[in-house]
Chains A and B, each alone.
Chain A
Amino acid sequence: MSILELRGVSRRFGGLDALAEVDLSVQPGEIVGLIGPNGAGKTTLVNVVTGVYKPSSGSIHFNGSKIDGLKPYQISRIGVARTFQVVQPFPEMSVLENVMAPAIYAAGLKNIEEAREKALEKIEFVGLGVEVQTMASQLTLASRKRLELAKSLAMNPQLLLLDEVNAGLNPAEIDKALELIRTIASSGVTIIIIEHLMKVVLSLCNRIVVLHHGALIAEGTPKEITTDPRVVQAYLGSRYADAQQGNLND
């Protein structure tokens, strides 16, 4: 059974189709890359899955149950977590308190001590152990991204939606982030990652899905996608495709 299924999902804003009849099926354990030009609807898709918006038509299923129409807080409690493109911490709280919140409310840990332990565990995992007592507003961008990740992990997610986790990071920070994501995936969490950086998508994902003007125009393995003429046309550009062809032939 697929862990996440979108059937004919559309989302309209006024006259604009942000998502147009998207059909998508994600299997447990996959790392799916979601790519497409700016405005293609990638973040809208994440918003619709996490309940921020209701689909204008179509349905969304998580482990077989219908979840479209549920509120964001309900969806986060059943095992779907997401990070934001523009990070959304609780600025006046420490890193520890920030990560305890999802542990208490989404993961449902009633005991404060248990919540604290879980939070500390996730904070260590993302490498923020030193900053446990630091106020979120005083963290660097890279640290805030890791905080975002720790928060979503504290929810015990089965499905993790990452929205541009690498925006604003330098190459070294990106490599560390990739390591983390691989480790998370290896523990059984299904991941959908929105990314602009091709090297990340191609090296990390076992399947790529391409959106353009709200419609799903292609899906397949990295190799299939980079040679797909529709994708090349819409997004990658012919020069890149040629260079990639060259690399693959080496």
Chain B
Amino acid sequence: MRHLLILAILVIAMGLLPIFASNYTLRLGTMFAMYAVLAQSWNIIGGFAGYPSFSTAAFFGLGAYTGAILQTQGVPMPIAWISACLVVTIFAACLGIAILHLKGHYFAIASLVVAEVLLEITTSWTDLTGGGMGINLPILRISIEAQASLFYWSMLLLALLALGLNFWVSKSRIGFALRCIRQNEDASAMVGINTTFFKVVGFALSAVLVGGAGAMYASWVFYIEPPDVYSVLTSVKPIVMALLGGAGTVFGPIIGAAIFLTMEEFVWRSFLSIHAAVLGLIIVGLIFFLPHGILGLLSDIKKKSIRKRGSSPGVEE
């Protein structure tokens, strides 16, 4: 209950941001919300189900291009965004059926390579996508400030949806099944869980909002090209954020997104030429020192202090 109150206050505060914030701050806020969507979405297939998915870039890029192409055909922006979500979800379901029977490294590679293939197809299909020259999206006839607020609020809404989705999945039959699958997939099948069904659903859920985020991103920046939206970093960064905050928890990814964005901004301002290397160092540090993320660390500390106090859980029944 206390968590919900804090969350509500934060949400209201963030919602009011455009009133007194500069465009730069709003841009940061929009990026944060987008990162939160990507990280929380990944969490469903990667954190809950334990399948190391690197397909976030594929979903994001496909969503971006779907939204962009529709908009250049005159489709209103919100419809373009929703259509992108639908297209990406269907794509994810089909892809999931094709590759979710793979485990470990094989699944990771397959999910990674999909983005590369989509990138190449997009670059070659010049008639539809503008190929390597990219797509210019129609300009919005509203002020710069209004645009900044519009995209900020839209991304924020998407981030809230992503958080809500995580929350709902964690409490539902789907979440329970995914958790079982992560811990012991064979035993899951033996206790009546249709593992293929739940994995595909989880995979599709991890894609729907990412597609929307891609479409929103395209509208926000007004110009996209294949290497921009299909970049492998778009698959890796959400994983790092989720690991940073605590994969498999409801709030871990968004916390990780906040921390990551802060570090990234700082590094961009101060160390531009070596920012990739610094990201690499952050990753190495994360793996070594925070293997369970921040929430994992906090819960370990809590468990240790309970043990120190002398009571052992589970005996008083």
Q: Point out residues on A near B: beta carbons under 8 Å.
A: 50, 71-73, 76-77, 82, 84, 88-93, 97, 101-102, 104-108, 129-134, 151, 155
B3 to nearest A CB, angstroms?
21
Query: Which residues of chain B come closer than 8 Å to A77, judged between CB atoms?
Result: 192
B190 beta carbon closer than 8 Å to chain A: yes
Residue B143 lies at the interface, judged by CB distance under 8 Å to chain A? no
Query: Which chain A residue lies CB-closest to B193?
Result: A105
Instruction: Report chain A residues within 8 Å CB of B191.
Output: 73, 76, 101-102, 105-106, 151, 155
B101 touches A (CB below 8 Å): no
Asked, given contacts A93-B179, A101-B180, A133-B313, whether A76 binds B192 with beta carbons under 8 Å apart, the answer is yes
In the complex, what residues of A have CB within 8 A of residue B314's CB? 131-134
Closest B residue to A105 using CB positions: B192
B124 at the interface (CB under 8 A from A): no
Asked if residues B189 and A107 are in contact (CB atoms below 8 Å), the reply is no
Q: Compute how far the CA of A4 lies from the CA of B5 in the bound complex, rounded to whole angstroms.
A: 57
Give the complex CA separation of A132 and B316 in angstroms: 11
A79 CB to closest chain B CB (Å) equals 11
| B192/A90 in contact, CB under 8 A | no
Q: Name the residue on A nearest B191 (C-beta).
A: A102
Residues of B within 8 A of A104 (CB): 173, 176, 192
Which interface residue of A91, A105, A106 has the most chain B CB atoms within 10 A? A105
With both beta carbons as reference points, the residue of chain B lying nearest to A71 in the complex is identified as B189
Question: Are A73 and B192 closer than 8 Å at their CB atoms?
Answer: yes
CB of A17 to closest CB in B, whole Å? 24
**Could you show 12 A-B contacts with beta carbons less than 8 Å apart?**
A71-B194, A77-B192, A84-B190, A88-B186, A89-B184, A89-B187, A90-B183, A90-B184, A101-B176, A106-B192, A129-B317, A130-B317
Q: Interface on B for A, CB 8 Å cutoff? A: 173, 176-177, 179-180, 183-184, 186-195, 313-314, 317
> Are A105 and B177 touching (Cβ within 8 A)?
yes
Bound-state CA distance A155–B193 (Å) is 12
- Flag if A93 contacts B183 (CB, 8 Å): yes
Residues of A near B184 (CB, < 8 A) are 88-91
Which residues from B are CB-within-8-Å of A97?
A: 176
How distant is the Cα of A16 from the Cα of B179 in the complex, in angstroms? 36
Whole-angstrom distance from the CB of A73 to the nearest CB of chain B?
5
Docked-complex contact A76 and B317, CB < 8 angstroms:
no
Q: Shortest distance in angstroms between A197's beta carbon and chain B's nearest beta carbon?
A: 24
Select one of B173, B183, B189 contacting A73, CB under 8 A. B189
Most buried by A among B183, B194, B195, B313: B183
Q: Which residue of B186, B192, B195, B317 is within 8 Å of A132 (Cβ)? A: B317
Q: Is the CB of B183 within 8 A of A91?
A: yes
Looking at the complex, which one of B173, B186, B190 makes contact with A76 (CB distance below 8 Å)?
B190
Min Cβ gap A144→B in Å is 12
| B contact residues around A91 at 8 Å (CB) | 183-184
**A64 to chain B: closest CB distance in Å?**
21
Is B190 within 8 A of A72, CB to CB?
Answer: yes
Min distance, Cβ A111 to any Cβ of chain B, angstroms: 11
CB neighbours of B317 from chain A (8 A): 129-130, 132-133
Besides the known contacts A92-B183, A104-B173, 11 further A-B residue pairs in the complex with CB atoms under 8 A apart: A71-B194, A72-B190, A73-B190, A76-B192, A101-B188, A105-B173, A105-B192, A130-B317, A133-B313, A151-B191, A155-B191
Q: Which residues of B contact A76 (CB under 8 A)?
A: 189-192
CB contacts (< 8 Å) of A155 on chain B: these are 191-192
Provide the bound-state CA to CA distance between A129 and B315, in Å.
Answer: 11
Q: A130-B317, A133-B317, A134-B314 are in contact. Are A102 and B183 (CB under 8 A)?
A: no
Give Cα distance in the complex from A29 to B314, angstroms.
Answer: 38
Chain B residues contacting A108 (CB-CB under 8 Å) are: 192
Known: A131-B314, A133-B314, A134-B314. A72 touches B183 (CB 8 A): no
Which residue of chain B is the closest to A137 with respect to CB atoms?
Answer: B183
Alpha-carbon distance A106/B192, docked complex (angstroms) = 4
Complex alpha-carbon distance, A113 and B302, angstroms: 29
The 7 closest A-B pairs by CB, nearest first: A106-B192, A105-B192, A102-B191, A88-B187, A72-B189, A133-B314, A90-B183
In the complex, A105 Cα to B173 Cα: how many Å?
9
B158 to chain A, nearest CB (A): 30
Contact A102 B186 (CB under 8 A): no
Are B189 and A88 interface neighbours, CB within 8 A?
A: no
Q: In whole angstroms, what is the CA distance A88 to B187 when docked? A: 6
**In the bound complex, what is the Cα–Cα distance between A92 and B188 (angstroms)?**
13
